[in-house]
Amino acid sequence: MEKHLSYPGHPKFEPQKWNKNKYIKHSHNCYTYALNTIIKKNAKTCKKYSNLSRKRRRTIKKRQQKKCRKKLDTWEWCDYHRPDKCFLLRPQPGIHSKTIKKYNKKNHKSNMDKLSRMILRDNPGIKKLKKNQKCPMGYYRIYLMPTFHAKYRRGDYHFIRQDRSGRWSEKWGDGAAKKIKEKTPEKYLKNLKKLFSSGSIFEGRYFAVPIKEKRNLKNLWKNF
């Protein structure tokens, strides 16, 4: 077992923590999961929003989309979220550091360098790692892979996280946290490409996240 995995506080696989409460599940994504951070305020807002009538949620969605498009000028995040799954509450890279508009443009596939800059600007304590580089003590590994959906002309991304056991886990969007059967991100990426017949997944990049450091995470939600 790698030495860094034994460091106190290293993330471990805890599906109940992410899946049991549906409002946590729906208001957190792969980015929050990779940074091992649950934002209680997001879960509370998600619950409040979910308990509104369908008509009221639809009205809020339209208003939020309008603000989102104006702020981003625009990116597809403003359009593809479903209203019953806590629209725009899930944090995204670049919002905290206000670099998201600079680095993401409509109909432009996700670019690894641009995504990396956004992540590092949000949380400067995170370090880039080479493929076979050892993770330093006091840090844990995450792996970023950018994707591009040809059908929808939308760039996207996905994170996976190394847990204390040495194996990897993930949380897709508002879905459940789960283990990854493959032992390495590269094997996982190879199998994942088969599911994206209408687009493509690009080779990812490793990062080391400090265990004992505050996380900077922000979303595009505006209070209703």
Residue 190 clears pLDDT 90, i.e. is over it: no
Q: What pTM was computed for the model?
A: 0.90
Distance, in Å, from the CA atom of 79 to the CA atom of 87, rounded to the nearest integer, reads: 9
What's the whole-number average pLDDT of the chain?
Answer: 85
Beta carbons within 8 Å of 66's beta carbon, 6+ residues apart? none
In a domain, 218, yes or no: no
Within a domain: 205: yes
User: What are the pLDDT digits (tens) for 31-61?
Assistant: 999 999 999 999 999 999 999 998 998 898 8
Query: How many structural domains compose the chain?
Result: 1
Determine, yes or no, domain membership for 224: no
pLDDT at position 74, please?
47
Question: In this structure, is residue 223 part of a structural domain?
Answer: no
Q: Quick: pLDDT tens for 76-123.
A: 567 655 556 787 899 989 999 988 876 655 444 456 788 899 999 999
User: Does residue 215 fall inside a structural domain?
Assistant: no
Taking 60 as the threshold, does the pLDDT of residue 204 lie above it? yes
> The tokens of 29 are what?
């994504």
Average of per-residue pLDDT across 186-209 = 77
Q: Is residue 155 part of a domain?
A: yes
Task: Find, among 32, 108, 115, the residue nearest to 75 by Cα.
Answer: 108
Given a cut of 80, whether residue 71 has pLDDT beyond it is: no
More confident position, 62 or 166? 166
Residue 207 in tokens: 């990062």
pLDDT level of residue 157 (50, 70, 90 thresholds): confident
- Domain limits for position 52: 3-210
Please report whether residue 169 resides in a domain: yes
Query: Is residue 221, in this structure, part of any structural domain at all?
Result: no
Higher per-residue pLDDT: 5 or 73: 5
Task: Output the CA torsion sign for 177, 178, 182, 188.
Answer: negative
